[in-house]
Amino acid sequence: MGFHGIAKAVCRALTVRQDGPSLYDVCDPLLLKYQGGDPHLGKFYRTALGNPALRPLLRRTGLPALKDAERLTRLRAALTAARDDAAPDWTAIGTPVAELMDDIDVRHPQPPAAKVTARAPAMADIDRAIRVCGAHLLRSFARNGFIPTYAAFNLLGDADISGREMLMALTGLNARGYKNSTLLFALARIFIAHSPARALINPPWRGIAEPMWEPVQIRHRSAYYDAFFTEALLGFVETGLASSDQAGAARRAISDMVEFCLKTSAEEVPSHDGSTVNVITALAPGPHPRFSRFFAQIKQDLGFGIYVPDCDTTACAFSAATQAGADDPILDQPLVDFYRGYQVRAGANEPRVTVPLNDHIDYEGGVVTWIDNLNGDRPYGNDLDPTLNLDILEVSFRNLKRWKIIETPQRLQTVHRIIAFQRRLVESGAFKNPRSHIYYLPELYSAYFGRCYAAFVALPLAAQRIIDPGNVFALIRARVLGYVKDELIAHEMNPFDAALALMALAHLNAEIATFTPALHCIVQNLGEGGRRGPYKAYEWNKMKTPTRILVGGPEVTSAFALMSLALARRRMAHS
C-alpha cells in the first residue's frame, strides 16, 4: 500500500461515523483500571489494544450488533468473568465473542494465474543472486553476532480461526495469560474487520506467503532459525561461489550457530520412560534470544513469559548439526525414542492434542509440537503439525545408523507410523489445505517434504525398502509435485513462494523446465528489499493463536532463496 492509500485509510478510520459501541466503549470501563481479579487481563488490554497507536484507529468503529442491549450485557459479563473468576469457565466466556466472529470474512489469498515465462534466467544471474544472498547472511552475522529473525502481529488474525477454533484455543491452552490474549485479540479482530483501518492493518499482497509489516517487527534469535541459517550457509559454501574469506566466515558462523543450538539452547526434559533427555528449547533463557529491553518487557506484559521446548526445533537443530559434521554427545540420543512418547495413538492418547485446530485430519501416528519441561509447564496445551513430522522423519533418516532405527523394532515402528500419518494426509488432499497446518503453509510443507525426500533417497536402497515397503514416498512425491506444478507456480508468486516451490521441484527431481517460473521470480525480484537486504520479509512460519503472529525476515528470505537457487543450479549443471 502506497503513501496515499495509507493516508486515505487513516483518514477514513479517524472520521467514520460510529454505529454501535466501540471496542473501547465495551472494554474501558472493565479493563482500563480495576482492583482485584487477574491483573494480566488489564495489562494486556492496555498494552496490546488500548495503546496510543491503535486506539485512534479503532475508537470510532462501532458494532451494530452490540446495539442489542442483551448482547452487550452478555459480552461485558463474559469479560468480567475472565477478569474476576478464580477458575473461569472459558467456554461460557468465549461464546459471546465467538458469536460476533461469524462475519469477519478473512480469507486465504487467491493469486491470479501467472504469465507464462518461456526461458530460464542465465546462469550468471543465478550465480549473482546466490552471491548476494550469501553475502547478506554473512554481513548480518558479522554486524549482529547472529542472524536475526523477526516477529510481527497481524491483528486481523488468521483465516482458519473462526469462533469455533477460538473456543478450542480458550479451552485447550493452559496458561491463563495466553487465554487472556487469545480472548482479547479475538475481540479486537471483530472491530478491526468492521473498521476502515482494516485496509491499513491487513493490505492485500502478491502471492501466498504474507509480507511482514515493517514498522513493528520484533527481532530475536532462536535455535530453530539458526538451524536453517546453518543449512543455508552450508549450501553457499558447497556452491563454490563464496570467496575464500566468505567461506571461512561461513564456517565460523556455522560453528557458532551449531553451538547455540546444541549447548546454549539445550534443555533437560522428562521422557515417557522416566529418564531425562536433552532437547532444544524454542527460546533460550535471556539474554540469548537477543530481544531489545523494550520488546522483552512487552513480551512479558502480553503473557508470553514462559517458553517450553518443542519437537520441531529439536529435530531441525539436530539435523543441521549432523549436516555440519558436529560430534556433540547430545546427537547420540535416539530422538525417535523420545518422540514415541509424544506420538498420538488413536483412542489411547488423542487427548494429548488439546488445541485441535486442524481436527479434520487424522492424527494417528503424528507427533505433537510442545514438550513438557522439568516443571511440567505446558502453556500452549498441545497441537499437531504435519510439517513438523516431516522434520522428525528427515532427522531420523540422517541419523539412521547412529540411532540404530532399522535394528530396533520399536524405533522402526515409530517411523512407520509417522509415514502412515503423512500418507493419509496426502492421499486425502488435506496437505493442500492451509487449515491442515498449524505453523506453516502448504507451500512450505511441499518444500520440507522435498528436504525430507532428499534425505530418504540418500539412504541405501535396502534401507529405503525397510523404511518404506509400501512406496509411500513415491506417492507423496507425485502428489506434492502435482500441487507445486499445477497450482503453486501456475499462479502469481512472490520471491518467498518461488523459493519454496523451487526447493520442492529441485529436491524431488522434477523436470528442469519446471524451474523457470520460480527462477524468474527469484532473480527478477532481487533488490526488492532495498536497504534491509536483497528481498523483503515474508511469512516463514506463524502462530495462529493468540492472533496471527508471523515470523520471518529479510535474512530468512535470503536464506531460502540461496538454498533453492543452489539446489537448482546443481541440477542444471548436471543436466
- The three cell numbers locating residue 570: 546443481
DSSP for 262-319, written as a single string? IIITEEEEE-TTS-EEEEEBSSPSTTTT---HHHHHHHHHTT-----BBHHHHHHHHH
Helix (H, G, I), strand (E, B) or coil at 154: strand
Question: Measuring CA to CA, which residue among 466, 459, 474 is closest to residue 406?
Answer: 466
Domain boundary among 180, 200, 220: 200
CA pair distance 424, 343, nearest whole angstrom? 16
Helix (H, G, I), strand (E, B) or coil at 21: coil
136 and 191 assigned to the same domain: no
133 and 96 assigned to the same domain: no
CA trace torsion 183, 305, 302, 84 (10° rounding): 50
326 and 289 assigned to the same domain: yes
CA pair distance 278, 270, nearest whole angstrom? 9
323 and 189 assigned to the same domain: no
For residues 351 and 411, is the Cβ–Cβ distance under 8 A?
no
- The three cell numbers locating residue 291: 530481544
The residue range of the domain holding 45 is: 3-110+156-200
**Would 360 be classed as within a structural domain?**
yes
H helix intervals, 342-436:
386-398, 409-427
Q: Residues 331, 337, 340, 342: is their CA dihedral positive or negative?
A: negative
pLDDT reported for residue 308: 86
**Would 116 be classed as within a structural domain?**
no
Q: How many CA atoms lie within 13 A of 267 on its CB side?
A: 22
189 and 206 assigned to the same domain: no
Question: Measuring CA to CA, which residue among 387, 380, 389, 377 is closest to residue 344?
Answer: 389
For residues 521 and 115, is the Cβ–Cβ distance under 8 A?
no
- The three cell numbers locating residue 430: 488435506
**Would 117 be classed as within a structural domain?**
no
**Would 103 be classed as within a structural domain?**
yes
Length of the chain, in residues: 575
166 and 304 assigned to the same domain: no
**Would 211 be classed as within a structural domain?**
yes
**Would 364 be classed as within a structural domain?**
yes
- The three cell numbers locating residue 442: 502448504
169 and 265 assigned to the same domain: no
pLDDT reported for residue 119: 86
191 and 210 assigned to the same domain: no
Distance of CA 338 to the CA centre of its chain: 23
Question: Measuring CA to CA, which residue among 174, 172, 89, 171 is closest to residue 376?
Answer: 174
Packing angle, helices 176-193 and 69-84, rounded to 10: 160
Core vs surface per residue 308-336: b (16+ CB within 10 A) or e: bbbbbbbbbbbbbbbbbebeeebbebbbb
Strand order across the beta sheet in which 218-220 lies = 218-220, 149-154, 548-552, 539-543
Q: Would you call the peptide bond into 52 cis, given omega within 30 degrees of 0 as the criterion?
A: no
Per DSSP, 249 falls in state H
List the pLDDT tens digit at each of the 575 positions of the chain.
565 666 777 777 777 888 999 999 999 999 999 999 999 999 999 989 998 989 999 999 999 999 999 999 999 999 999 999 999 999 999 999 999 998 899 999 999 999 887 788 999 999 999 999 999 999 999 999 999 999 998 999 999 999 999 999 999 999 999 999 999 999 999 999 999 989 888 888 999 999 997 655 888 999 999 999 999 999 999 999 999 999 999 999 999 999 999 999 999 999 998 999 999 998 877 777 776 665 566 666 665 666 789 999 999 999 999 999 999 999 999 999 999 999 999 877 667 899 999 999 999 999 999 999 988 888 889 999 999 999 999 999 999 999 999 999 999 999 999 999 999 999 999 999 999 999 999 999 999 999 999 999 999 999 999 999 999 999 999 999 999 999 999 999 999 999 999 999 999 999 999 999 999 999 999 999 998 899 999 999 999 999 999 999 999 999 999 999 999 999 998 87
- The three cell numbers locating residue 551: 515470523
User: How many independent structural domains does the chain possess?
Assistant: 2
Q: Residues 465, 574, 489, 391: is their CA dihedral positive or negative?
A: positive
Write the burial class of residue 300 (CB in 10 Å: 0-12 exposed, 13-18 middle, 19+ buried). Answer: middle
414 and 525 assigned to the same domain: yes
pLDDT reported for residue 495: 98
Distance of CA 522 to the CA centre of its chain: 21
CA pair distance 201, 305, nearest whole angstrom? 26
For residues 472 and 422, is the Cβ–Cβ distance under 8 A?
yes
pLDDT reported for residue 304: 63
308 and 437 assigned to the same domain: yes
Write the burial class of residue 261 (CB in 10 Å: 0-12 exposed, 13-18 middle, 19+ buried). Answer: buried
162 and 244 assigned to the same domain: no
CATH number of 283's domain: 1.50.10.20
CA angle 447-258-153, nearest 5°?
A: 55
CB atoms within 10 A of CB 118: 6
Global pTM reads 0.94
pLDDT reported for residue 401: 97
CB atoms within 10 A of CB 421: 23
**Would 535 be classed as within a structural domain?**
yes
Domain boundary among 200, 234, 256: 200
Helix (H, G, I), strand (E, B) or coil at 220: strand
For residues 356 and 299, is the Cβ–Cβ distance under 8 A?
no
Domain boundary among 200, 233, 258: 200
Label the pairing between strands 266-270 and 276-280: antiparallel
**DSSP-based helix, strand, coil % in the chain, nearest 5:** 55, 5, 35
What Rg, from alpha-carbon coordinates, does the chain have? 24
pLDDT reported for residue 169: 96
Helix (H, G, I), strand (E, B) or coil at 159: coil
Question: Measuring CA to CA, which residue among 484, 492, 355 is closest to residue 431?
Answer: 484
- The three cell numbers locating residue 66: 452490540
pLDDT reported for residue 211: 95
Question: Measuring CA to CA, which residue among 541, 535, 542, 538 is closest to residue 562?
Answer: 535
Question: Measuring CA to CA, which residue among 84, 7, 70, 10 is closest to residue 41?
Answer: 84
**Would 115 be classed as within a structural domain?**
no
160 and 276 assigned to the same domain: no
- The three cell numbers locating residue 548: 496471527
pLDDT reported for residue 5: 67
